A and B are shown apart, each in its own frame.
Chain A
Amino acid sequence: NFMLTQPHSVSESPGKTVTISCTGSSGSIASNFVQWYQQRPGSAPTTVIYEDDQRPSGVPDRFSGSIDSSSNSASLTISGLKTEDEADYYCQSYDNNNQGVFGGGTKLTVL
């Protein structure tokens, strides 16, 4: 079964840049689109990146997504960190049967 692996937690200071990785278990992660979702405590997820590197309207350009085929991984980079960025972040893609697959989530602490 296709799986996505994320670090359990990351932390960084305000104003800095943080990168969250998402590694595919098999095949090429570049074959299917990767999305990133932000979930603040007590709230529903929101989409911050879709189709690998696209930002929905309203998402600041401090958020960017990329794919690294050599490591079979996707990354979410947040620059100019703000305390409001503190949240859980989930990567998501799908397998060759178009079954959605989520990573386990990464808790971002901005301290």
Chain B
Amino acid sequence: QVQLQESGPRLVKPSETLSLICTVSGGSITDYYWSWIRQPPGKGLEWIGYIYYSGSTNYNPSLKSRVTISVDTSKNQFSLKLSSVTAADTAVYYCARGKLPAVILGWGQGTLVTVSS
């Protein structure tokens, strides 16, 4: 069973860069597409983007100028960087996997990241 675990700072200051890592266990990072999705408190889900192990990416146009998703096949990890954050970026961030782009089969447990000074 493939499991995903998000890690990274839970508190980020405004204007700084949010950085999260998703560690994949129980499967190879070369087998799936890997996504980041977020959910502001009390609100719905928002697609951030995805990456394939080859490095090809696809980002939400509304976040594209601030987002970088990368993959480290040697560590079976992929990561999210979101720059110039504001309070509006406060959310639970989920990493997820799928056999096809934008088709999610499994989710991480999520991590709440708060943007505040």
Contact = CB atoms under 8 A, between A and B. Distances in A.
Decide if A and B are genuine partners. Answer: yes
A99 B44 contact: no
Interface residues of B, number: 23
Interface in B20-52: 35, 37, 44-47, 50
Contacts, number: 60
A101 B72 CA distance: 26
Interface of A: 33, 35, 37, 44-47, 50-51, 56, 90, 92-94, 97-105
B104 A99 contact: no
A102 B103 CA distance: 11
Contacts of B107: 44-47
A44 B45 CA distance: 11
Given A44-B94, A99-B61, A100-B35, A105 B44 contact: yes
A98 B58 contact: yes
Given A45-B104, A50-B103, A100-B60, 5 more contacts: A45-B107, A47-B106, A92-B104, A99-B58, A102-B47
Contact of B44 (A46, A47, A102): A102
B109 A44 contact: yes
Give 5 closest A-B pairs by Cβ, nearest first: A100-B47, A94-B102, A100-B102, A102-B45, A98-B101
Contacts of A94: 101-103
5 contacts: A37-B45, A37-B104, A44-B108, A90-B44, A99-B58
B110 A44 contact: yes
A87 to B, nearest CB: 13
Name, among A44, A46, A97, the residue most crowded by chain B CB atoms within 10 Å (CB to CB): A44
